[in-house]
Amino acid sequence: MALLSVRDLSITIGRMQPLDRISFDLGKGEILGVVGESGSGKSLTAMSVMGLLPLIRGRITSGQVLFDGIDLTRLKEKEYRALRGRRIALITQNPMTSLDPVLTVGSQIDQVSRLHLGLVPAEAKARSIDLMQQLRISEAEVVHDQYPHQLSGGMKQRIVIAMALAADPDLIIADEPTTALDVTIQAQIMQILVELVRDRGLALMLITHDMGVVAQTCDRVVVLYAGRVAERNTVTEIFAAPQHPYTRALIGCIPRTASQPGSLTGIPGMVPSVLDYPSGCRFHPRCALAQAVCCDTVPPLEPVGVGGLTGCGLAACHFAGESAPAKGMRHG
């Protein structure tokens, strides 16, 4: 059984419906990439799993979020609080949203294991320093007593990762965890995070806009576009044979050198506004393969590969797998 199973999840925020029947599974010890441009619904997916939608007046209107067999959509806030930080930890893009500027960083890591594991202060401090060392923070004892403003961005993000690991969670959700950092630091921190997650056999849901990061770190991937799943598969299969034109475009955006930041400028047009989603396939205004059927019929998420038998891959495209326009040859 999957550790996390998101099934047909739809949410609304006011009159917007930014997620439409999202489904994916994440197994213990697996790293799942959730990828798409900004505005695709990645962060909202994370917030749904963390039970944080009420903060932005969001509401789950259908579907389930099963975590270790528990349907999180039915939890009361008090029950959620027992899970959040303890069994499911969140790492956000900006470390300052997770760090309190007036407390030492060490005391903030200590708090997590004191609160969730019931450690006494000395035990918590020893555990924090050990974690900081595993995150390759040199002079961890000194850094433990420093304040966030005394640390670089990369160091602050290591502290946030230490906080996420401090209660020994089963699942970590990392929402663009390195996007705010310098490119060289990004790669280092991602490598450390992935190593620690793999060593501990944790499940990681890694939210990113960068297919290059997915290729290097993930086992499986779900590609979101405008609040819907465009494609889902193992990383090996999706890179060997991407089926959805949007996935192919994202793969085409992988920078060729490490010093060149990932960019999505290769995909013409913009992600549509949630207030004005196109009819049919939401990618149709940007898709080189679009035909009449794409404008009025939503493509179902269907198995891909020969006869749909090659594995767990799914894509939502009327012309999945076709690489050249084939006007008039098929009709959905």
Least Cβ distance, residue 181 to ligand SF4 (angstroms): 33
Site string for ligand SF4, 231-270 (x = CB under 6 A): -------------xx-------------------------
Residue 43 binding partner per list Mg ion, ligand SF4, none, with a CB distance cut-off of 5 to 8 Å that depends on partner kind? Mg ion
HSE on the CB side for 123, CA within 13 Å?
Answer: 11
Phi/psi at 225 (5° precision):
-140, 125
Cα separation of the two ends of the chain: 34
Q: What is the chain's Cα-based Rg?
A: 21
Which of residues 284, 301, 313, 314 is near ligand SF4 by CB under 6 A? 284
Point out the residue whose Cβ comes nearest to Mg ion: 43
177 touches ligand SF4 (CB under 6 A)? no
Contact 176, 160 (CB under 8 A): no
CA distance 79 to 240: 42
Cβ closer to Mg ion: 32 or 119? 32
318 touches ligand SF4 (CB under 6 A)? yes
Report the site for ligand SF4 in 286-305 (rule: CB under 6 A).
Answer: 287, 289-290, 294, 299
CA distance 16 to 33: 25
Total residues interacting with ligand SF4, rule: CB under 6 A: 13
43 touches Mg ion (CB under 5 A)? yes
5 touches Mg ion (CB under 5 A)? no
Contact 208, 215 (CB under 8 A): no
Cβ closer to ligand SF4: 24 or 283? 283
36 touches ligand SF4 (CB under 6 A)? no
Segment lying near ligand SF4 (by CB under 6 A), choices 86-94, 161-169, 262-270, 312-320: 312-320
Least Cβ distance, residue 244 to Mg ion (angstroms): 20
Segment lying near ligand SF4 (by CB under 6 A), choices 54-62, 214-222, 251-259, 282-290: 282-290
- CB neighbours of 140 closer than 8 A, spacing ≥ 6? 129, 132, 133
Total residues interacting with Mg ion, rule: CB under 5 A: 1
**Tokens encoding 6:** 């998101």
**Tokens encoding 145:** 């007593």
CA distance 161 to 107: 14
Cβ closer to ligand SF4: 88 or 287? 287
Least Cβ distance, residue 270 to ligand SF4 (angstroms): 15
Residue 232 binding partner per list Mg ion, ligand SF4, none, with a CB distance cut-off of 5 to 8 Å that depends on partner kind? none
Contact 92, 98 (CB under 8 A): yes
Cβ closer to ligand SF4: 232 or 318? 318
Cβ closer to ligand SF4: 84 or 244? 244
Whole-Å CA distances, 262 to 208, 232, 257:
11, 21, 9
Least Cβ distance, residue 299 to ligand SF4 (angstroms): 4
Residue 35 binding partner per list ligand SF4, Mg ion, none, with a CB distance cut-off of 5 to 8 Å that depends on partner kind? none
Cβ closer to Mg ion: 37 or 170? 37
Which residues sit at the interface with Mg ion, rule CB under 5 A? 43
Contacts with ligand SF4, residue ranges (CB under 6 A): 244-245, 281, 283-284, 287, 289-290, 294, 299, 317-319
